[in-house]
Amino acid sequence: MQLTGSQILFKILKEENVDTIFGYPGGSVMDIYDELFRQNIKHILVRHEQGAVHAADGYARVSGKVGVCLVTSGPGATNTVTGLANAYMDSIPLVVFTGQVQTWLIGNDAFQEVDITGITRPCTKHNFLVRRIEDVATTIKEAFRIARSGRPGPVLVDLPKDVIQTRIDEAELKYSISLPDKPVIPNAKRCAKALDLLKKAQKPVIISGGGVLLGRASEELRSFARVLNIPVTSTLMGLGTFPASDPLWLGMLGMHGTYYANMAVSYSDLLIAVGVRFDDRVTSNVEAFAPHAQIIHIDIDPASIDKIVKSHLSIVGDCKPALQWFNKEITSGRLSLPAEQIKSWRQQIRQWKEKFPLAYCRSKKIKPQCVIETLWKITNGEAIITTEVGQNQMWTAQFYRFDRPNTFISSGGLGTMGFGLPAAIGAQVACPGKLVVDIAGDGSIQMNIQELATAVQYNIPVKVVILNNNFLGMVRQWQELFFDKRYSHTDMSHAPDFVKLAEAYGATGFRASAPDEVETVLKKGLHTRGPVMMDFEVEPEECVYPMVKSGDPLTEMSLGDSNIVA
Amino acid sequence: MEVRENIISILVNNKPDVLARIAGTFSGRGFNIESISANVMMNPAITKIIITTRGNKQTVTKMEKQLHKLVDVLQVDDLTDVDSACGEMILIRIKLTEENKGKVMKAINTYNWRVVSMDPSSCIVEVTGDKELIDDALALLAPLGMDDFTRTGCIVLKRCKS
Ligand SMILES: Cc1ncc(C[n+]2csc(CCOP(=O)(O)OP(=O)(O)O)c2C)c(N)n1
């Protein structure tokens, strides 16, 4: 039997257990879309290719599978760049298929030709331009393997139109079935060295990062921390790896981290950093970061080790087997931390927690933090939450208490406004039975608002909570604090009526203008079928605290008025 | 930490875009490539690339780790402090006149340089050796009517430990 390139594509997608594609058609992928018409695979037609990539990204984060996109050449391909860069920074496994002009036209500035492999080289884990029908199967297989292996990441496969159209005898179709990747087992000798450091620790702290989610090691991390009674903080990407309801939880670390997490790290004598890469939003001033601590750094990517913070002991490998190794040492009695040894440290942390808990003042206006806190309460902390970028994202990280892995979906490394709505759509597609909420700012939501049409078309019942402050809030906050309140171009008051806009798209809209409406509107919104957009008119000039000014030591936090307990 | 010249030897899959990936990794991480040479190995699917770059040991180590992450990079060796043979080649073209001819010929004979092309009005001299030797040859010939030159940049080969 003869197979076209398109048919081979779908054959391999099936073998890779792909059941959903996010995409947008165009000239160079018409043959693929024609084949798709006959195939039994779910395709979500987005309204912008950036939305497709973010949706696939959200899908991948929630399901643990590789997210897949299909877009046309030229502008379709360039529209994926932000999505790819976003997934690359957060190490999310994606395979993005782009159409390309016919091989004989490549290099001729043909209609809708762009050198997309050239453009995306620095923002993909790898990319391919497939020039021969014989290579289609192997390349796609390889793309999936690369996307999910080691430190995951996005892979782009550029498919010229003629390659897709060509037929090949199925018998000639030779490709190896790639084996599932084996985890990278860390070196036991190095782990053993960590034992000595651990046993001596008097002020230990664990920093858990996105790598713990990617390595599916939350269970192991929880048991490790709990048995040894080590307090845990996490990066933004690591939220959910350790339950926020656990007394050992310190909250998030870094620029908008909690007072006690930043203090604990700054006074700790042993940091166990698992699956983190020490982003500058986490370390702030690297020289002043954890000045008293020995650092054990566990990570899958050797390039992350000593890239920013010099570790005293590095363990390269999957964090799951690494933590399993330590947990085994604990069960066999070779590793323990006597309660007495860390008693005063735990006391100290308790004091810090009592001194400056996360808090905010109430006022006549709706407080954005209150919206998130109420959402957390009425969802029992069980929703999947995506965020946009800015204050909304930081308040979510602070006030929604994540107990489970893969329930906080946010653009960490790139900070991409417009991520939240399409990511929520992807997450909802991966988990149809779950409640998925995008917590948004009035600025960010307008960056990919068109995806509301996608949600309505497929009845993807995502709920959007807009913390509408009529500003590009986070930028305004910096202007207030560091630019003498010169609010240069951060006024967003020329916005659409979001309730009417929701209705125009065929979704449902609600608005809350006063504090006493928050709970009712949230409940109404969450219980309404289908996609819902809720517009909360919040205090326009509220700031996120605590805040460490970029480049200051973590101990130099400005606490604003957040120390006034609600 | 001391900034110095570093020599990195990289084995890669012989593919059209691999050089762009390597160059992009250097520029994207703020490094400059001082010299580069590439050759296909006995197995034509593999290319060896020798790059010299300035930086301190710590930053160059980070660079090597980043190179390692590229899918088509098979092996990265930092040969800066490794016992290895190292050489470059330069071709220098000199315009010959009545005045300089004698001096040029004398230099060629003194240093035993190979003359690869010669006609009445110009000649091309080939010099191979280490960096210093080439620098010296350049310094000597530049004022003697040097017209143009091409220099390979450094290539290295690790010595076998016996
Ligand atoms: C695509 C993009 N453009 C610009 C920025 C810079 N930026 C960071 S936060 C922010 C303001 C976000 O405003 P809004 O969505 O209203 O959220 P708020 O901070 O008010 O919660 C901006 C402009 C960004 N992160 N992403």
Neighbour count for residue A355 (Cβ, 10 Å): 12
**What pLDDT score was predicted for residue A128?**
98
Residue B12 and residue B66 in one domain: yes
Given this model, what pLDDT does residue A178 score? 65
pLDDT, tens digit (0-9, with 9 covering 90-100), for B93-128: 999 999 999 999 999 999 999 999 999 999 999 999
Report the pLDDT value the prediction gives residue A181, as an integer from 0 to 100: 75
- Taking only Cα atoms into account, the Rg of chain A, rounded to an integer number of angstroms, comes to 24
* The last residue of a domain, from among B19, B47, B82: B82
Q: Do A126 and B71 touch (CB under 8 A)?
A: yes
Interchain contact B21–A (C-beta under 8 A):
yes
Domain co-membership, B15 together with B63: yes
Mean pLDDT to the nearest integer, B36-59: 95
* Sign of the torsion formed by the C-alpha atoms of A395, A400, A405 and A409: negative
Identical fold between A188-355 and A368-544: yes
**At residue A149, does pLDDT exceed 80?**
yes
Q: Please say if the pLDDT value at position A564 is more than 60.
A: no
Q: Is the pLDDT of residue B162 over 80?
A: no
Q: Are residues B72 and B98 in the same domain?
A: no
Gap from A294 CA to chain B (nearest CA, Å): 20
State whether B114 and B144 are in the same domain. yes
Distance A443 CA to ligand 1 centre (A): 6
Q: Are A532 and A509 within 8 A, CB to CB?
A: yes
State the burial class of residue A106 (Cβ atoms within 10 Å of its Cβ: 0-12, 13-18, 19+): middle
A488-503 exposure pattern, b = at least 16 Cβ within 10 A, e = fewer:
eebebeeeeebbebbe
Q: What share of chain B has pLDDT > 70, as a percent?
A: 99
Q: How far is A394 from chain B (nearest CA, A)?
A: 29
The domain spanning residue B102 has which CATH number? Answer: 3.30.70.1150
Across A188-230, where does the E strand assignment appear? 204-208
Task: Name chain A contacts of B28, Cβ cutoff 8 Å.
Answer: 122
Residues A67-92 pLDDT 10s: 999 999 999 999 999 999 999 999 99
Same domain, B94 and B151: yes
Give the domain-ending residue among B60, B82, B104: B82
Residues B64 and B105 in one domain: no
Q: Is A534 assigned a catalytic role? A: no
| pLDDT bucket at A562, cuts 50 / 70 / 90 | low
- pTM attached to this predicted model: 0.95
Q: Are residues B100 and B71 in the same domain?
A: no
- The tokens describing B113, both together, are 């340089």
Lowest mean pLDDT among A44-53, A217-226, B136-145: B136-145
pLDDT-derived band at A171, boundaries 50, 70, 90:
confident
Predicted pLDDT at A151: 96
Contacts of B24 in chain A (CB under 8 A): 121-122
B28 — contact with chain A (CB < 8 Å)? yes
Please indicate if any CB of chain A lies within 8 Å of the CB of B114: no
State residue A175's pLDDT score: 83
CA-angle at A148, arms to A146 and A152, nearest 5°: 90
Decide if B17 and A302 are in contact by the 8 Å CB cutoff: no
pLDDT at B109: 94
Look at residue A565 and tell me whether its pLDDT is greater than 50: no
What's the pLDDT at A172?
Answer: 85
| Total domains, chain B | 2
Indicate the pLDDT class of residue A45, thresholds 50, 70 and 90. very high
Neighboring chain A residues of B20 at a CB cutoff of 8 Å = 118, 121
Domain of B10: which CATH number?
Answer: 3.30.70.260
Q: Which residue range is the domain that position B145 belongs to?
A: 85-158
Position A180 confidence tier, pLDDT thresholds 50, 70, 90:
low
Of B28, B53, B82, the domain-final residue:
B82
For A260-314, how does the pLDDT look when each residue is reduced to its tens digit (9 = 90+)? 999 999 999 999 999 999 999 999 999 999 999 999 999 999 999 999 999 999 9
Average pLDDT over residues A391-397: 98
A121 with B65: Cβ contact below 8 A: no
First CA to last CA across chain B, in angstroms? Answer: 32
Of the candidates A121, A122, A302, which has its C-beta nearest B65's C-beta? A302
State both tokens at A407.
Answer: 């329930």
Find the mean pLDDT for residues A161-190.
Answer: 87
Which contiguous run of DSSP H or E holds residue B40? Answer: strand B33-40
CATH of A368-544, one of 3.40.50.1370, 3.40.50.720, 3.30.70.1060, 3.40.50.970: 3.40.50.970
Tokens 């350049």, residue located: B138
Task: Find chain B residues with C-beta within 8 A of A302's C-beta.
Answer: 65, 68
> What pLDDT was estimated at residue A176?
75
CA distance A91 to A413: 9
What value does the mean pLDDT of chain A take? 96
Please state which of the four CATH numbers 3.30.950.10, 1.20.1250.20, 3.40.50.970, 1.10.10.10 is assigned to the domain occupying A2-172: 3.40.50.970
* Best residue for ligand 1 mutational test, from A465, A472, A475, A544 (most atoms within 8 Å of Cβ): A472
Per-residue confidence (pLDDT) for residue A179, from 0 to 100: 67
What gap in Å lies between CA A213 and CA A215, rounded to an integer?
A: 5
* Both structure tokens of A115: 């050198």
Residue B52 pLDDT greater than 60, yes or no? yes
Residue A53, pLDDT above cutoff 50: yes
Q: Which residues are within 8 A (CB) of B137 and not within 5 positions of it... i.e. 6 or more apart?
A: B90, B92, B111, B113, B125, B127, B129
Nearest CB among A122, A306, A307 relative to B28 is that of A122
Q: What is the mean pLDDT of residues A417-446?
A: 98
B32 and B100 assigned to the same domain: no
How far, in Å, is the centroid of ligand 1 from the Cα of B36?
Answer: 42
- Residues A325, A218: contact at Cβ < 8 Å? no
Instruction: Please tell me the number of Cα atoms within 13 Å of A370 on its side-chain side.
Output: 24
Whether residues B62 and A307 touch (CB distance < 8 A) is answered with yes
Alpha carbons A248 and A257: distance in angstroms, whole number:
16
Residues B44 and B89 in one domain: no
Check if A112 is active-site: yes
Please give the distance, rounded to the nearest whole angstrom, from the Cα atom of residue A90 to the centre of ligand 1.
18
Asked whether residue B12 falls in the same domain as residue B67, the answer is yes
Beta-bridged to residue B158, according to DSSP, are B84
Identify the band that residue A566 occupies on the pLDDT scale cut at 50, 70 and 90. Answer: very low
Interface probe for A, chosen from B21, B66, B69 (most Cβ of A below 10 Å), is B69
Domain locations along chain A: 2-172, 188-355, 368-544
For the structural domain made of A188-355, what CATH number should be given? 3.40.50.1220
When mean pLDDT is compared across A84-93, A226-235, A333-342, the lowest value belongs to A333-342
Q: State yes or no: pLDDT of A177 exceeds 70.
A: no
The pLDDT value given to residue A108: 94
User: Is B15 part of the contact surface with chain A (CB cutoff 8 Å)?
Assistant: no
One domain for residues B78 and B10: yes
- Give the dihedral sign, CA A287/A288/A293/A299: negative
B139 and B71 together in one domain = no
